[in-house]
Structure 1
């Protein structure tokens, strides 16, 4: 799970990810720099389930190991890369080591802006959703949740991307990009291979680009910042999902608008977000208010969200209603500059209290 910045970041410190705040430089010479970093995250959680006993678990909460580097191409342009992997800190002996990729990309930045290719969080996550809830264990739902309710592969939202982000000009910044899911991007689920070569036909049991045609989504966003106030808008047409259904139908679009204001150690944000389904009466809207305050030894934070799902949406069908009142609360406590603990609570207003829960955890970054 992505981590928020602590109180120092809210107070206006450099916007560095918490996972890399303690990065160790292993090489820095002649314009080339290489850092390694990581974290260990463990949490005890208690989460209600619909029609069953609650889940209680002491488990990993997204422990990662990463490397990042950069080198000077010329006086204006710097090339860079970043790669992260996840591992299970709670069952290290029984896990596969660094068994899951988190993000990986390569790019170049300078006075022209920033261009990259690879895998990372969607722009709508970073600019629209994270200012409301980018918490340690429990987040509220969003338009990505509505997309997942239709059983679409959410991993497609993060991989195979190209993006250009402009420099900030008079407080204005914009980003444009594409998510490319090519004709060969599928997993054959049948035993129709010979020496590792696929010999069978694609069918409805295979995952990935089943339609057999290249599908490219388009996303774009703009952000304006003046003093402690900023407003951002993002659109994603989700066209990469067209190739991931047997009939190649559109699944819909994502829209989002978020405004936030930071004063001293307090940040307040509001959000309006929509998953616009392709069929009639399938839209899902999210309206949220969130706040985070750095009290000196950590953060205290919370958010409220109203979800309005139209009757024919997969969201309403899956969760058994067409409107929900969600909220969460949390507090962190800094043990040291590299280590903190937290407690969080979430309520989703689902049937049978499904998804409601509490968690206590610890984070150590290196």
Structure 2
């Protein structure tokens, strides 16, 4: 639910950083500030097959982008972004969304270190256009801690690669009997956008997990996907197909395939959206449909920086033998 693709093609949906304000600029140094305030109300999740009761959820974000030109070809860059919960029940909850520093070469290539965006997001952004629901078939992390990331973007080409050092893997202590410890992971993505607004993306990610004697079995997680998007005259279309595989030591492999499809249309201040998300097990006795849902949504831009939105999630998946309840929600968002 990051809404970044349509921000480029449909004015009613906008990326937070597009609203950034330069607060300092002098002798090659620049500091930008941006933020977001959002409040949602509705029924957003399930308890078993039943939807949760109606409720609200508020949040606020504040971020800064920094840049310092070392010379004509190299710049120091950095990004910090925090999100604060707006509910008393969350106490003083404050999460870092991004925290990285690095270098930019020739305005085309970035090398960064820290908590940054997973390259696999280049694929999921194709269908991640909703404010409340959608993108349900993906299982990758959107922002990864301790990640070394390199990216290149120029002339329609977009290449990304990253390797992450998991904190759980730093200790030299042996695994406890009931402990599960994530290992390091890497991910790759490549995309190309043609001059006529057709974009193609491919992505891959791999992660390993080690377990203690009583926690289960060691496993490797692999996922890959292919996607395409196209925009023309206020219309946007996107689709993604991929597969996931869990290779478990001493046990049968677990496989799923996933597919997502979205469409959107913008006219004046209105944006109408529809999507379908699907994930199904492969090669198992049940071949269970893990995700099977439709999403309908509408957004209205009050100003270039503020919008109202409403979405309805039509469920076709089951919890056991019982079909899951539909979900719904409304919200308001202001970017600055």
TM-score, normalised relative to structure 2: 0.85
Would the alpha carbon gap of residues 205 and 3 (structure 1) be closer, same or farther in structure 2, given more than 3 Å must change? farther
Q: Are 2:84 and 1:87 equivalent residues in the alignment? A: yes
Q: Which has the higher helix share?
A: 1
Match of 1:45 among 42, 47, 51: 42
Q: Residues 269 and 289 of structure 1 are in contact (CA less than 8 Å); yes or no, is this contact kept in structure 2? A: yes
Q: In 2, Cα distance between the equivalents of 1:33 and 1:304?
A: 42
Closer/same/farther in 2, CA of residues 44 and 323 from structure 1, 3 Å limit: closer
- Counterpart CA distance in 1 for 2:60 and 2:3 is 11
Aligned length: 326
1:283-322 matches, cutoff 5 A: 283-310=255-282, 312=284, 321-322=288-289
Which runs of 5 or more structure 1 residues have no equivalent in the other structure?
148-153, 187-197, 210-214
- 1:224 equivalenced with 2:192 (yes/no): yes
**2:145: which partner in 1?**
159
Instruction: Within 5 Å, give how 1:141-156 maps onto structure 2.
Output: 141-144=136-139
Distance 2:212 2:9 in 1: 40
Contact 2:134–2:275, Cα closer than 8 Å, also in 1: no
- Equivalent position of 1:27 in the other structure: 24
Answer yes or no: is the 8 Å Cα contact 2:137–2:277 preserved in 1. no
Q: What secondary structure, in the 3-state scheme, does the structure 2 residue paired with 1:252 have?
A: strand
In the other structure, the counterpart of 2:158 is 173
In the alignment, what sits opposite 1:64? 61
CA distance in 1, matches of 2:2, 2:263: 18
Q: Is 1:2 the counterpart of 2:5 in the alignment?
A: no
Q: How does 1:193-208 map to 2 (within 5 A)?
A: 202-206=175-179, 208=181
CA separation of 1:363 and 1:91: change in aligned 2, threshold 3 A: farther
Aligned twin of 1:131? 126
Change (3 A) 1:353 1:83: farther
How far, CA to CA, are the matches of 1:216 and 1:244 in structure 2? 17
Q: Deviations over 1:279-327 (max 9, x none)?
A: 54511111222112221203211111332212649xx79xxx3465321
Q: Distance in 1 between matches of 2:169 and 2:207?
A: 18
- Ranges of 4+ aligned residues in structure 1 off by more than 4 Å: 182-186, 204-209, 242-248
Partner of 1:335: 302
Change in 2 beyond 3 A, CA 1:81/1:248: farther
Matched-pair contact (CA < 8 Å) for 2:152–2:160: yes
How many Å apart are 1:123 and its aligned residue? 1.7
User: Aligned partners of 2:158 and 2:118: how far apart in 1?
Assistant: 17
1:189 aligned residue: none
Scaled by the length of structure 1, the TM-score of the pair is 0.78
Asked if the contact 2:146/2:166 (under 8 Å) is kept, the reply is yes
CA deviation profile, 1:52-102 (whole Å, cap 9, x unmatched): 563321112x4211122111111011211111111122439x7316x1111
What residue number does 1:100 align with? 95
Kept in 1: contact 2:57–2:87 (CA 8 A) = yes
Report the structure, 1 or 2, having the larger strand content. Answer: 2
Alignment of 1:363 with 2:333, yes or no, is yes
Inter-partner Cα distance in structure 2 for 1:121 and 1:348 = 29
Cα 1:51–1:355 shift into 2, 3 Å: closer
The question of whether the paired residues in 2 share the 8 Å contact of 1:140 and 1:326 is answered with no
Structure-2 separation of matches of 1:165 and 1:332 = 32
